[in-house]
Structure 1
Amino acid sequence: EFYMKRVGLLRGVAEVESEDDPVARTGSARDRLAQIRKSVLDLLVEQARCYQALLPQLASHGILLAAWDELTEAQRDEASRFFDRNVSPALTPLGLDPAHPFPFMSNLSTNWGFILCNPDTEEYVPVRVKIPTMLPSWIPLKADAAPGERRFLRLEDLIRHSADKLFP
C-alpha cells in the first residue's frame, strides 16, 4: 500500500512541483522520495544479508535452495519435465506491437519481459509473460537427493532456463 499509493502520489507531486514553491522549501517531494529510496535500499541490503545467513541454517536441516547451475543433469531433467507439465501450460506470452499496446499489469503481480528477434525480418518484438500466482515459488526436486535432503529450485530460475521452450 505504501508504495502503490503514497510513493505514487509523491512521484506525481515531484513531477509538477516547482523549485520556487515556498512549500517545497520546507521539504520537497523529491527530497522525501530520496529519503524513502535510501531507507528502502538499506532494508534491501539487510534483507539480502538475512537471506544469506539463512541459507546455511536451512542446509543444516537438509533444505537446499539451489540455483540452476548447481543442479545435476537428473535434477535439470526433472525440472524440465515439471516445466513442460505444470508451468508452460499456465504461461501466456503476449507480444507488444502498435496493434497490441502495453498491457495492464496488476498490482503485486510478477511479470517477465523478453525481447525476441524475428530471424526473417530482424525486427525486435518485446514480449510479456505474466507468472500466475497458482504456480509454486519453489519447485521441489527429488532426483539425486540424499536421504533427509530436500532440494528446491526457484520458479523464476526454471522459467529463465526454459525460455527457449516458450519461444521456439
Structure 2
Amino acid sequence: MTDTEDAIVDLVAELAVALPARGETLAAAESCTGGWIAKCCTDVAGSSAWFERGFVTYSNAAKSDMLGVPASLIESEGAVSEAVVAAMATGALARSLADVAVAVSGIAGPDGGTEDKPVGTVWFAWAADGDVATERRVLAGDREAVRRASVAVALSGLCERLRGRDAG
C-alpha cells in the first residue's frame, strides 16, 4: 500500500471509533471521488453503525436533484467551487439522517482544468452542528493520485473537526 492508502485506512479506523462514541453518523457527498469515500468507510466491518449514506453526484444535475444544490449556483460559481461544495455538504445533511457530512468536488484530470481552476483543484466541505467549513487544495499527480489524495484530505479534515469538537 502507498502512504496515502495507509493514511486512509488509519483515518477510517479513527472515524469508526469516534463517530459511534459520539452517537453520530456520516454522510458523504462526492463528485470527483465517485464514491471512493463511501467505499473506504464501508470497507470496515460494522460501518453501518456510523456511515449513514453516500451520494455520488458526479453530474451537475445529480448535485441539484440529489442534494438540492441550486442549478443557478452551479451555473454562476461552477461545480468546482466553495459555494457548491458547501451546498453539497448541507444538502447531504438535509437529505439524510446523518449528523456529519463531508463533500468533495474537483477536477481530477487529465482534462477540464482552466487557468483559474487547474487540474488537481479540489474543494472540500465538512458540515455539522449548523456549521460548514471549506477548503481548497490543488493536488498533484495523475487522475488516480488526485482522487486518492482527495479521499485522504476529506477524511483527514473530518477527523480534525471531530477532534476539535471534542476539545471545545
Q: Same fold (TM over 0.5)?
A: no
Q: TM-score, normalised by structure 2?
A: 0.30
